[in-house]
Amino acid sequence: MELLIKEIIGKYNYWLYIILMMIGLYAIIAKNNLIKKLVGMNIFQTAIILFYISIGYKKGGTLPIIEIPHGHHTISPESIDISKYINPLPHVLMLTAIVVSVATFGVALAIALKIYKEYNTLEEDEIRMRLRGK
Amino acid sequence: MKKVALIVVILCGAILIHATSEFPKWGEINSPASLHVSPYYIKYSVEQTDVPNIVTSVLADYRGFDTMFETTVIFCAGLACFLLLRIFNDKEEETESIFYRHIPSGIIIEFKNHEVDIRDEDFELIDSKFVPYDLIIKTVCRILIPFIQIFALYVVAHGDFSPGGGFQGGVILGASIILLAISFNLKTAIEKISEKTLGVLSAIGVFIYAGIGCLCLILKGHFLDYGKLAKILPIDPVKARAIGMLGVEIGVAITVMAVMIIIYINIASQGKHQEGL
Amino acid sequence: MYWILDLMILTLVIVCAIGAITIKDLLGTAILFGAYSFMMCLLWAIMGAVDVAFTEASVGAGVSTVFFVAAIFRTTRRTRD
């Protein structure tokens, strides 16, 4: 029983991230509106980014900015305690991913605008009907 | 379709939740991800690059190639948006009526037939979906925008020591121009920073990044090896790395700013660059 | 005390995500999506990823919501699901 509670406290974060990711996947597959699909795509993306950030997290660690003692300009590598600082590597990878995600989101919206101009609707089944009608 | 989707999603979720049993606990200090490369970055970041913010030093120096091509991706996204949406003839066919504004008085005239074509100094063609302005919003935004821009420049310049850097500063700088376009209208924003300038700026950002890399090549170092900049700057190689990173961040900020504005003006006016939102 | 805040914000994030994909108005989707992004930014700030949180606050909650509203202004608010 105690082991189960420990397992739940250690892992509940990952489970909630997976639920979030699955909400995004459901929206991509089942929703009919193109904009809703884009929102699903973005939710999926942020859930993955959240997962990466949580991998780098250390309990009791502080921000990944090195604390230089007052009056000094540098700090020797030996005096830095690694477990005190959060792992910065996932942050770097995900920071660029967020900015690229907004750029791709802009391109996706541009394509949606073009589709609306051509077919006058954003619903997927209506677009398919019109394609068949032509 | 919805039932199939639900089944697929639940199956996927079950498999992934099963996989979490192998993971280290949340927040564990000795998780495998924190043992291999990152201790090196944490230990030597200040000694080798003189930048206390490890995220910036890894972003712009240790993994500089990655960031350079991310910047190129953003540039390409702006280019794609421009090519997809931009329309160069300003008359549209489908709408029911055409609107003209008499500039000195601000009166708006609606024409039902399409044959009208006024080519006069005092009249301008406006968008059929124009939104009237509000004096309070205009005044508040006029006061606010310079402060937003100063904050953005601070974020870019101070990225070495505190959270921030090229991406964030560039986005805030772009957002200030977008705020101008929302609170006034799109034409005012385009007068301040024209489409041609934006296109050139978005390319210049990438050029600055790659140019600093090539400068290091000319100075007999590796590509993006900022330490070699010490030969032309009156500082030691460790400080030169910090300066090189600052230059790179400025390039990133210029590209991101220009691309954000390009995407906004093309989406908000559907490529016609009239009044917009 | 610390994990309570984390759990609360995670719950809010999931509520915002479900709301954003179920509401029958695209403008509502845009606003809920902005709220979702901002909650996400708080979550990252809790985990110590200040740079990422800063980026998300300016990009996800700021500029992408503006793009979204602009696109809806140019297309339609109507949706069937």
Q: Which of residues 123-182 of B touch C (CB under 8 A)?
A: 129, 163-165, 167-168, 171-172, 174-175, 178, 182
pLDDT per residue as tens digits for the range A35-74: 999 999 999 999 999 999 988 888 888 888 888 888 887 8
Angle ∠(C27,C31,C32) on CA atoms, nearest 5 = 115
Contact present, B56 and B241 (Cβ < 8 Å): no
Q: Which residues of chain A are within 8 Å of residue C25 when distances are taken between CB atoms?
A: none
pLDDT per residue as tens digits for the range A99-132: 889 989 999 999 999 999 888 888 888 899 998 9
Q: Which residues of chain C are within 8 Å of residue B163 when distances are taken between CB atoms?
A: 50-51, 53-54
**Number of C-beta neighbours around residue C72 at 10 A:** 19
pLDDT per residue as tens digits for the range C4-48: 888 899 999 999 999 999 999 999 999 999 999 999 999 999 888
DSSP element (H, E) containing B217: helix B195-218
Amino acid at A123: E
Contact present, C48 and C6 (Cβ < 8 Å): no
Largest distance between two CA atoms of chain A: 76
Tell me the domain boundaries of chain A. 2-61+83-133
Substitution target in B178, B180, B256 with the highest count of C β-carbons within 10 Å is B178
pLDDT at residue B104, rounded to an integer: 77
Distance CA B248, CA B257 (A): 14
Shortest CA gap B51–chain C (Å): 15
Distance CA A33, CA A18 (A): 24
Helix axes C26-46, A34-56, angle to 10 degrees: 0
Token readout for A28 is 């991509």
Mean pLDDT, to the nearest integer, of B186-207? 91
Pick one of 1.10.287.3510, 1.10.10.10, 1.20.120.80, 3.40.47.10 as the CATH number of A2-61+83-133: 1.10.287.3510
Q: Is residue C80 part of a domain?
A: no
Substitution target in C7, C63, C72, C75 with the highest count of B β-carbons within 10 Å is C63
Does B16 score more than 80 pLDDT?
yes
Determine contact: C37 vs chain A, CB below 8 A: yes
DSSP element (H, E) containing B110: strand B107-111
DSSP line for C4-47:
HHHHHHHHHHHHHHHHHHH-S-HHHHHHHHHHHHHHHHHHHHHT
Token readout for A119 is 């077919």
Contact A46 C59 (CB under 8 A): no
Mean pLDDT, to the nearest integer, of B228-242? 88
Determine contact: C69 vs chain B, CB below 8 A: yes
Contact A10 B58 (CB under 8 A): no
Shortest CA gap C67–chain A (Å): 7
Tell me if residue A78 falls in helix, strand or coil.
helix
pLDDT at residue B112, rounded to an integer: 74
pLDDT class of B109 with cuts at 50, 70, 90: confident
Complex-level ipTM: 0.92
Amino acid at B187: K
Does B94 score more than 60 pLDDT?
no
Q: Which residues of chain A are within 8 Å of residue B4 when distances are taken between CB atoms?
A: 29
Q: Label residue B119 exposed, middle or buried (CB < 10 Å: 0-12, 13-18, 19+).
A: exposed
Contact A85 B16 (CB under 8 A): no
Q: Is residue C47 part of a domain?
A: yes
Contact C49 A56 (CB under 8 A): yes
Mean pLDDT, to the nearest integer, of C46-60? 90
Mean pLDDT, to the nearest integer, of C62-78? 89
Does B276 score more than 70 pLDDT?
no
Number of independent structural domains in chain C: 1
Distance CA B142, CA B180 (A): 8
pLDDT at residue C1, rounded to an integer: 59
pLDDT class of B96 with cuts at 50, 70, 90: low
Average pLDDT value over all residues in chain B: 86
Distance CA B171, CA B157 (A): 14
Tell me the domain boundaries of chain B. 45-91+131-268, 93-127
Distance CA B266, CA B181 (A): 12
Distance CA B272, CA B266 (A): 7
Residue showing tokens 């990422």: C52
Q: Is residue C81 part of a domain?
A: no
pLDDT class of B91 with cuts at 50, 70, 90: low
**Number of C-beta neighbours around residue A47 at 10 A:** 22
Domain extent at residue C66: 2-74
